[in-house]
């Protein structure tokens, strides 16, 4: 904790405050749980998970600058590891490009839904589940959560999923222009399903109970679980 690094003049400290200090994901206990941290940023959630008793945490972050800090911040944990990978759809191999935010302050705002930016290494969610055998998924992937979850065939092995959702990413304003001209391959087939309402229905069909709340314009937090035993929230 003492050596946890932030970048001055960015949202790093604010993101850490929300995830670690304020416990925005409403975590109770993760004792004995194995987790995938999809969208690891600089390691705030990995630290939170370890501090709440997680047995093992694997973090994924496609942005090189974020990943460098993520690796530094988790490398001292014996029960955590980090990979510079984007987690993507499981039904076919696709090329994933990552475009960093054009606002250097917004260190968590880059995304892969525009089809622009550099090609980044990627792994399907199915392969990640097979390799690390988690029971919990945390996902904050700036819109990439939709294809990853919709095409995953291993959700029967998962008890709990939580994270941030991004409704209709790339389908309004400037995003609409980018989306129509550069629809990334990994988002094809999902234009009409990029909403939490649609995702909630899908997750319910997979046996999860779902709770979500909006925290801003077309984005928010969600929790989907079969037990809710590791969370402080639960659907009524």
Per-residue pLDDT, 23: 98
CATH of the domain at 196: 3.40.50.150
Please state the domain count of the chain: 1
Within a domain: 5: no
Within a domain: 43: yes
For CA atoms 76, 77, 78, 83, the dihedral sign is negative
HSE-CB for 80 with a 13 A CA cutoff = 25
Within a domain: 232: no
Q: Is the Cβ–Cβ distance between 134 and 36 less than 8 Å?
A: yes
Within a domain: 201: yes
Within a domain: 133: yes
125 lies in which domain range?
Answer: 12-225
Residues 159-192, buried b or exposed e (16+ Cβ, 10 A)? bbbbbbbbbbbbbeeebeebbeeebbbbbeebee
* Global confidence as pTM: 0.92
Within a domain: 236: no
Within a domain: 47: yes
Q: At 13, is the secondary structure helix, strand, or coil?
A: helix
DSSP letters for 194-229: -SHHHHHHHHHHTT-EEEEEEEETTEEEEEEESS-T
Please report, in tens digits, the pLDDT of each residue of the chain (236 residues total).
Answer: 558 999 999 999 999 999 999 999 999 999 999 999 999 999 999 999 999 999 999 999 999 999 999 999 999 999 999 999 999 999 999 888 887 767 667 766 666 666 678 899 999 999 999 999 999 999 999 888 999 999 999 999 999 999 999 887 555 554 554 456 566 777 778 877 888 999 999 999 999 999 999 998 788 999 999 999 999 999 97
d(CA 85, CA 151): 18
Within a domain: 6: no
């Amino acid at each position: 904790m003492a050596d946890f690094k932030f970048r001055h003049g960015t949202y790093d400290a604010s993101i850490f405050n929300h995830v670690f200090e304020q416990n925005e994901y409403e975590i109770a206990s993760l004792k004995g749980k194995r987790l995938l941290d999809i969208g690891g940023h600089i390691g705030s959630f990995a630290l939170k998970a370890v501090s709440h008793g997680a047995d093992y945490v694997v973090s994924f972050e496609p942005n090189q600058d974020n990943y460098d800090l993520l690796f530094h911040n988790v490398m001292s944990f014996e029960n955590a590891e980090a990979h510079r990978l984007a987690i993507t759809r499981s039904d076919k191999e696709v090329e994933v490009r990552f475009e960093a935010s054009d606002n250097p302050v917004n260190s968590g705002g880059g995304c892969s839904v525009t089809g622009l930016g550099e090609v980044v290494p990627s792994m399907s969610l199915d392969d990640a589940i097979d390799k690390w055998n988690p029971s919990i998924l945390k996902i904050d992937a700036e819109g990439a959560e939709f294809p990853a979850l919709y095409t995953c065939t291993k959700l029967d092995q998962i008890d709990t999923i939580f994270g941030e959702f991004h409704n209709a990413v790339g389908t309004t304003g400037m995003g609409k222009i980018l989306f129509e001209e550069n629809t990334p391959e990994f988002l094809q087939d999902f234009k009409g399903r990029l909403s939490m309402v649609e995702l909630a229905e899908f997750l319910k069909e997979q046996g999860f109970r779902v709770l979500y709340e909006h925290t801003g314009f077309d984005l928010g937090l969600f929790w989907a679980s079969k037990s809710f035993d590791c969370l402080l929230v639960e659907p009524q």
